[in-house]
């Protein structure tokens, strides 16, 4: 059973959708589809590439189970937390009990390089 007292972080889950700009041209935009309470367990890994230090920030968000969220396509959804963008790597229906979802995500900067 999930302890709801630990769900103290507000996250937004966004979906990549197709829309049209003012001239009628197709464009893809991120649309917030859920705002949920979650807990966040942050881990980080530092590594070096071509004499440049890159830091990978990975977070496991835990939230209440939601059937639609459990089946999302990770390439078309992302999480906004504390103003940063987290790309979803994996969604796990914890122990298959339909009580909580563990969402593993990684943070990139605006240039899509690891931070």
Using the CB atoms, write b or e for 20-53: b if 16+ within 10 Å.
eeeeeeeeeeeeeebebebbbeeeeeeeeeeeee
Look up residue 88 and give its DSSP letter.
Answer: E
Question: How many Å apart are CA 11 and CA 39, to the nearest integer?
Answer: 9
Q: Which CATH architecture has domain 4-108?
A: Beta Barrel (2.40)
Return the structure tokens found at 110. 């605006």
- The mean pLDDT values, 10 residues at a time, for the chain of 115 residues are 91 92 87 96 68 70 94 94 93 94 82 46
Q: Which sequence spans correspond to the domains of the chain? A: 4-108
Instruction: Give the Cα separation of 103 and 17 in Å (integer).
Output: 21
State the number of CA atoms in the 13 A half-sphere of 91 facing the CB: 23
């Amino acid at each position: 059973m999930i302890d709801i007292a630990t769900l103290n972080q507000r996250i937004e889950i966004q979906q990549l959708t197709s829309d049209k700009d003012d001239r009628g041209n197709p464009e893809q935009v991120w649309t917030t589809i859920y705002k949920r309470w979650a807990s966040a367990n942050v881990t980080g890994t530092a590594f070096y590439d071509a004499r440049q230090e890159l830091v990978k920030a990975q977070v496991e968000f835990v939230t209440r189970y939601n059937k639609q969220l459990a089946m999302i396509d990770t390439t078309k959804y992302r999480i906004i937390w504390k103003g940063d963008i987290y790309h979803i790597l994996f969604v796990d229906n914890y122990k298959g009990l339909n009580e909580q979802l563990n969402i593993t995500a990684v943070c990139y900067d605006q240039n899509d390089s690891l931070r």
